[in-house]
Amino acid sequence: MRKIIFAVLLFLLFDLANAQDLNNIQSQSGSSDLQALNLINVTIGGAFVVNGTFPALRTERVDQFITRVFSKYESQVVSGTKDKELLDVLKSQLNSYAKRDILLKRFDGTQLKVDLEKFRMTGDFSYNPYLKSNDVLIFPVLDLERNFIDISGAVNLPVKYQFVDGDKLSDAILFAHGLNPAYKNVTTAEISRLSYNGEKQVVEKINISDNSYLQRGDRIKIIAENNQKKNYKVLVLGEVQQPGYVYITKSNTTLKNVIESSGGFTGNASLKRSKILRGTNEENLLRMKALQSLYDEEKIVDLNKFAKKFDFSKLDNLSMMRMSDAQPEDTLYYSIDLKLRQYENSGIVDFTKIFSKDSTNNQFIVRDGDVILVPEKSNTIYVFGQVNSPGYIPYLLGKDYNYYIQKAGGFGEDYKDEIKIISGKNKSWHSAEDSTKVDPGDFIYVPKSLPRNIFYYLRTASFITSIASALATVAILILNLKR
């Protein structure tokens, strides 16, 4: 009696793995005893994610059955994984099984080839037959390194897929989702074939209409003239009448055309501080991407808030230091100019002259992806350095630099009397004099007088003494030679 009970328990444990599938299938078919008679067993073998015998319905086709078994197995494998990157890797690896050239062996000895990829692309059920009791599905190994076809060029989706004996050019085009209708007069394909050792290549041009048979490892390029009809556009932000995207041509739309398409400048536009961003370096690319994303989401971009949120002070500092007359011991001129060459590779444009017929600025060509920034007029002067209260001071017409320094709290204790006015337009430096004009948006810099200890003066005296001694020695030698 105990042996009988043990045998029954063992059978129940063995059958537990498929119990859920049976319940699901029966629930789908009404759960009646009559419908249960439609249940069959199908065996999966070969290079599939899981092998074994599984329950199925007589009304199921191969694709439905395989999808169900795969989905259940995948959910069990990834259920305990929370890391997104690891999850993506696991799903990719699990899905790397052959979906073509699958062998279906019937109980009566009949053999069929199943092609799930073709079925999914065409809806032709001859590639996806019904299942029968005791069917066996055998999956081949998927080897896309050697057993492949690669197709690119004038197709909708360049792809590398599993090769099956008997494939034709039309099959490759099918798996690439067809010829791209954006290209005209597409009639030719180029097939590249390597020798067995990979050292020699034969390139053959064929007519697409010939629908030639393919060979394992063929690389196919569908030939077509390059279509330059693309979505070229620039983004204009700030003080223009109609900010937003402006559609342009590939290479002959001028900045003037773009501003006109944006409705022109507003009365509050600061043309002197307007600029073009072009993706010539990482910082510009990041700034352009941030501006484009912000506009796409909100349709309105406040350039002042954007400048505060995305700190590009390094670029501003470099711009101001490039034109300074600081001593070599304080500044690495070469590195500054090198950086600025990268940042300002978009060209110099004077926005105040883009509508002038006599200026070359109205012929400046914009490029796809450019971002044009037109800030509002600045009515302040920024005073910094050795002043007691550095910051922005309201601009007053006719006032000189002394006025703004006094408004900034006056000089600090260690200031150096070599005050500079930095142009807000081009960041050029000018020595501050009573006659020096100060414009809105300019900077006033008060440098610091560096403290010098006794060792500094001793080193300087030693250096001068060495030079004088060397000159004296040379002079004595010259006099001796003349005697």
CA distance from start to end of the chain: 136
Q: For residues 434 and 384, which has the higher predicted lDDT (pLDDT)?
A: 384
Burial of residue 352, with CB atoms counted within 10 A of its CB: 0-12 exposed, 13-18 middle, 19 or more buried? middle
For residue 219, pLDDT beyond 90: yes
In this predicted structure, which of 84-93, 155-164, 472-481 has the lowest mean pLDDT? 472-481
Q: Give the chain's mean pLDDT.
A: 82
In this predicted structure, which of 8-12, 88-92, 188-192, 391-395 has the lowest mean pLDDT? 8-12
Rounded CA separation 381/385 (Å): 13
Q: For residue 466, what pLDDT band results from cuts at 50, 70 and 90?
A: confident
For residue 326, pLDDT beyond 60: no
| CB contact at 8 A, 159 and 175 | yes
Rounded CA separation 246/276 (Å): 14
pLDDT at 457: 63
Rounded CA separation 265/207 (Å): 55
Residues 6 or more apart whose Cβ sits within 8 Å of residue 189: 153, 169, 205, 206, 207, 208, 220, 221, 222, 223
Torsion of CA 320, 323, 324, 327, to 10 degrees: 120
**Mean pLDDT (whole number) for 446-454:** 73
Q: For residues 328 and 414, which has the higher predicted lDDT (pLDDT)?
A: 414
**Mean pLDDT (whole number) for 394-407:** 89
**Mean pLDDT (whole number) for 43-59:** 95
For residue 8, pLDDT beyond 50: no
pTM over cut 0.85: no
Q: Which residues make beta-bridge pairs with 219?
A: 150, 192
For residue 33, pLDDT beyond 80: no
For residue 31, pLDDT beyond 80: no
The DSSP output letter for 351 is G
Tokens 């569908």 label which residue? 222
Estimate to the nearest angstrom the gap between the alpha carbon of 221 and the chain centroid.
26
**Mean pLDDT (whole number) for 413-428:** 81
For residue 59, pLDDT beyond 80: yes
pLDDT at 283: 63
**Mean pLDDT (whole number) for 273-290:** 74
Rounded CA separation 282/318 (Å): 16
For residue 121, pLDDT beyond 80: yes
Half-sphere exposure of 311 (CA within 13 A, CB side): 3
Residues 6 or more apart whose Cβ sits within 8 Å of residue 412: 385, 386, 387, 388, 446, 448
| The most confident of 59-68, 269-278, 397-406, by mean pLDDT | 59-68
For residue 60, pLDDT beyond 90: yes
| CB contact at 8 A, 283 and 343 | yes
Handedness of CA 467, 473, 479, 481 (dihedral sign): negative
pLDDT tens digits for range 137-196: 999 999 999 999 999 999 999 999 999 999 999 999 999 999 999 999 999 999 999 999
| Of residues 158, 264, 181, 293, the one with CA closest to residue 227 | 181
pLDDT at 131: 96
Q: For residue 258, what pLDDT band results from cuts at 50, 70 and 90?
A: very high
Rounded to 5°, angle at Cα 197 from 194 and 201: 25
**Mean pLDDT (whole number) for 81-87:** 80
pLDDT at 50: 94
Rounded CA separation 242/236 (Å): 8
